[in-house]
Structure 1
Amino acid sequence: MNRRTVLAGVGSIGLASLAGCLGLAGLDKHESDPAGVDAAVRDDTGYEQTKIDDLVIDEKFELGPYSETVSVTNYLTEHEKRVDMGPLGSQRGALFMVLTTPQVSIAGRELNPVGDMSTTELVDLVQSNYDAIGDIAHDGNDEIAVLDQETTISRFTADAQFNGQDVEVYLHVTEAVETAEDLLVTIGVYPSLVRSQEEDNVLELVSNVTETVDESASTGGAEGSGEGNGGNESDSGNESDGGILDAV
């Protein structure tokens, strides 16, 4: 299980319940546009855009004599940063992700359930799909502006696995905001050891999300990027340590 699998479900939850009306309305294919973070803010906070993954979910549904395949393409733009992880040394242990999932509306009604999900529901979804993160506990809420829209950002504590070692982490998750055509969610994760530096950095990244992304800025990162849009097969000279939400 890796973070592609973890977060693919965020943009597809509830797809089965929507399949009938989407297919009958001729809305069987949906694709978002990738989003990112202002380049100057990435530089200031020390985060590197590593790749842009397309998360494609195809589901076939049988409704009596009627059969329909619904396809949803979400995009996940990933950023990583090397931080001090104590006994583990300097590792790419801080992660910031921007997830976009398409808005789907009929007669003015938004059907993509991500738009109504709380941060707790989003985090519960991550936990239910990823065995190596657990004991998630809510640690506080605040308000933040994302794309000039006020939304809730929540902080959670959790236990995670990093290269086979137990690591206490903080997660910051925002409720969805709207872009021109999509819904956008941000997730930041870092070891609790570096909270004094990285909490402010994550908030700065969230506040400077952009609807567009420079695909050429992606460096490849820990997993390489043979999949997805905007990837680069170079790992830019980094060692092969995994990110905090990678498979163990």
Structure 2
Amino acid sequence: MHRRNVLTGAGVVGIASLSGCLGVLGLDSHESKPAGVDEGVLADTGYEQTKVEPIGIEEEFDAVLYTETIRVTNYLTEHEKAIDLGPLGRQRAAVFMVLTTPKVEVAGRELNPVEDMSTDELVSLVEDNYDDIGDITHQGDESVTILGEGTTVSQFSADAQFDGQDVDVRIHVSEAVQTDDDLVVAIGIYPEQTRDQEGPNVGSLMEGIIEDAHDDS
């Protein structure tokens, strides 16, 4: 299962429609802060933070009299866990990601479309950004508290590939929750055969999200 660039478009679609106004207001550049998971929760669930990746997006839009460039920097904090996949051996097949994308408000109106995206829309972005994942089917919803805010988390079944072998996976995706400056989305993916263990772990990881990723440099 190879990630191309998860949710690359998050934070720029929709903002583009008001690009001219944003430039006039000095709001043509936006950057979120990376979020992560509490170290104690990572230790309890067996996950390890492996990467904090800035995802920079720069789009140029034609206004009436000039060209406007909008720059958005999202952050993706990735956590992994090695799972025994039988004939495939142990692989880092359980992944938990925390995406942050900046809030953009003008006159009290939030322009970042991620705020209003449903979990179905968000999981479609995940599907679009993985090379070897497809046939996503909604399985159910639950309420989880992330950063003190109750939000909907949906579970989906899907097909994926590891080393050329087909593997059924389970995906958990949260709706966005707000910090003071950003929107936060959580995504968990693991082999279906480990659902009894990793399902509760993903719930713990979501509830253990913190606003600052650990500095592993």
TM-score range, shorter chain: over 0.9
Q: Which residue pairs with 2:164 in the alignment?
A: 164
- Distance in 1 between the 2:87 and 2:13 partners? 38
- Distance in 1 between the 2:12 and 2:211 partners? 21
- 8 Å contact from structure 1 (residues 4, 55) kept in 2: no
Amino acid at match of 2:23: G
- Distance in 2 between the 1:12 and 1:67 partners? 16
- Distance in 1 between the 2:156 and 2:94 partners? 15
Partner SS, residue 167 of structure 2: strand
- Distance in 1 between the 2:112 and 2:212 partners? 21
Q: Which residue pairs with 2:66 in the alignment?
A: 66
More strand per residue: 2
Amino acid at match of 1:192: E
Q: Cα deviations across residues 90-137 of structure 1 (Å, max 9, x unaligned)?
A: 110000000000000001111100000000000112223334211000
- 8 Å contact from structure 1 (residues 146, 206) kept in 2: yes
Amino acid at match of 1:129: N
Q: Cα deviations across residues 139-188 of structure 1 (Å, max 9, x unaligned)?
A: 00000100110000000000012122111100000000001210000000
- Cα offset for 1:24? 2.9
- Distance in 2 between the 1:132 and 1:21 partners? 39
Q: Structure 1 residues 155-164 or 48-57, which shifts more?
A: 155-164
**TM-score between the two structures when normalised by the length of structure 2:** 0.95
- Distance in 2 between the 1:4 and 1:212 partners? 24
- 8 Å contact from structure 1 (residues 83, 91) kept in 2: yes
- Percentage identity across paired residues of the two chains: 59
- Distance in 1 between the 2:89 and 2:165 partners? 12
- 8 Å contact from structure 2 (residues 4, 130) kept in 1: no
Q: Which residue pairs with 1:203 in the alignment?
A: 203
Q: Which residue pairs with 1:104 in the alignment?
A: 104
Q: Which residue pairs with 1:94 in the alignment?
A: 94
Amino acid at match of 1:145: T
Q: Which residue pairs with 1:84 in the alignment?
A: 84
Amino acid at match of 2:114: V
Partner SS, residue 7 of structure 1: coil
- Cα offset for 1:15? 3.8
- 8 Å contact from structure 1 (residues 10, 122) kept in 2: no
- Distance in 1 between the 2:13 and 2:130 partners? 15
- Cα offset for 1:2? 5.0
- Distance in 2 between the 1:24 and 1:4 partners? 34
Q: Which residue pairs with 2:177 in the alignment?
A: 177
Amino acid at match of 1:200: P
- 8 Å contact from structure 1 (residues 32, 181) kept in 2: yes
Structure 1: state its 5+ residue gaps. 217-229, 231-248
- Distance in 2 between the 1:39 and 1:153 partners? 22
The runs of at least 4 consecutive aligned structure 1 residues that moved more than 3 Å come to none
Amino acid at match of 1:84: D
How many residues matched?
217
**Aligned alpha-carbon RMSD (Å):** 1.5
- Cα offset for 1:81? 0.1
Residues 180 and 213 (structure 1 numbering): CA distance in 2 closer, same or farther, change over 3 Å? same
- Distance in 2 between the 1:177 and 1:192 partners? 26
- Distance in 2 between the 1:52 and 1:132 partners? 22
Structure 2: state its 5+ residue gaps. none
Residues 34 and 4 (structure 1 numbering): CA distance in 2 closer, same or farther, change over 3 Å? farther
- Distance in 2 between the 1:129 and 1:42 partners? 25
- Distance in 2 between the 1:2 and 1:15 partners? 29
Amino acid at match of 2:150: E
- 8 Å contact from structure 1 (residues 61, 67) kept in 2: yes
Q: Which residue pairs with 1:7 in the alignment?
A: 7
